[in-house]
Amino acid sequence: MNLHSALRSTLIAASVMGALPGTAMAQSSVTLSGLLDISAGQSKAAGSSNKVWGVDNGQMTTSWFGASGSEDLGGGLSALFTLQSFMRADTGASGRFGADTFWARNAFVGLASSSLGKVTIGRNTTPFFVTTLSFNPFGDSFGYSPSIRHYFTSGTLTGDSGWSDSVLYTSPKLGGATLQLFMAAAEAGSNGRNHGVNLRWGAGAFDSAFSWQDVKKDGATAVADTKSWQGAASYDFGVARLFGQFGNVANKTSGNEYDIVGLGASVPVGNGKILAQWGQIKPETGAKRKTFSAGYDYFLSKRTDLYAVAMSDKIDGQTSGSAFSVGIRHRY
């Protein structure tokens, strides 16, 4: 029996048990899910002359696994939980790196109301990260999305893609708009707490978002104080979906400031899509960084896709960086 069949059988059995009188599982559901992304390719960092061949994890999406569930409490109210862990599928190690928290992707419990919205408490993915991945054609690719790389791996924004000790409120959708309010509590050793606000609005083929956050800590650890905002939009013309992002990161600790822009497109071709994005970091002090990525993502099914992607990465005054990967993603 394969994993998908086994999980389905388990969930069916759980449903049957939940239907029996007196069982604690009544009105409850639990889902096991995850994603594996493995690729082979070559990379050369900007400013380096060394080309590295390798088998890599998570070039398009960081591999992860987890469980989530909900319980219907009646009257439009439900309880929910999510536990999700990153992993390095090329080696079998847990986390994105050696010191990563085990449930670093999400670890929260909360309440959801059909009329009042949802509150989750624990470790939550930041709305700023969700806005960044939602409005570029490469999604949450730390390997090839210029937007993700420029905000989260280039020394601009601080605070990671998820906040520990946090409370996230998500409003019901009102006239196509959803409001999120986010806070991470201060802990011993930190400079203070984190705050964030996100507003997303869409209608038909148009989608847009505005995110703002103020970061003083990462977990319980003090980090550089950064205030960041980002406006983003996309429009699906059918023959292509176009993306635009513009934001600013002000590092109050160093005194430097960064304008970050991204322009991209996703074009359906056959059973896949051509993906392309250009992005730039323009610092108040220091060298500009320009990154361009392009590739093709081919879907064998709704859960499995093959991709081939290449990237050029240029920092003023340094030799250009480059990378290419051929890989496979499978969702379960």
DSSP secondary structure, 165-194, as one string: EEEEEEPPPBTTEEEEEEEE---TTSS--E
Provide the number of structural domains found in the chain.
1
**Is the separation of the CB atoms in 319 and 49 below 8 Å?**
yes
- pLDDT tens for the chain, residues 1 to 332: 444 444 344 334 444 334 444 444 447 899 999 999 999 999 999 999 999 999 999 999 999 999 999 999 999 999 999 999 999 999 999 999 999 999 999 999 999 999 999 999 999 999 999 999 999 999 999 999 999 999 999 999 999 999 999 999 999 999 999 999 999 998 877 778 999 999 999 999 999 999 999 999 988 788 999 999 999 999 999 999 999 999 999 999 999 999 999 999 999 999 999 999 999 999 999 999 999 999 999 999 999 999 999 999 999 999 999 999 999 999 99
In a domain? residue 120: yes
pLDDT at 128: 98
User: What CATH number does residue 210 fall under?
Assistant: 2.40.160.10
Query: Domain for residue 55, yes or no?
Result: no
pLDDT of residue 191: 76
For residue 15, tell me if it sits in a domain. no
CA dist 281 and 260 (Å) reads 5
Answer yes or no: is 298 within a domain.
no
| Boundaries of domain holding 185 | 63-282
Position 6 scores a pLDDT of: 42
Cα–Cα distance, 331 to 311 (Å, whole number): 25
| 276: in domain | yes
Contacts of 200 (CB under 8 A, 6+ apart): 131, 177, 178, 180, 207, 208, 209, 210
Does 22 map to a domain?
Answer: no
In a domain, 92, yes or no: yes
Residue 316 maps to a domain: no
Question: How confident is the model at residue 91, as a pLDDT?
Answer: 96
96 backbone dihedrals φ, ψ, rounded to 5°: -80, -25
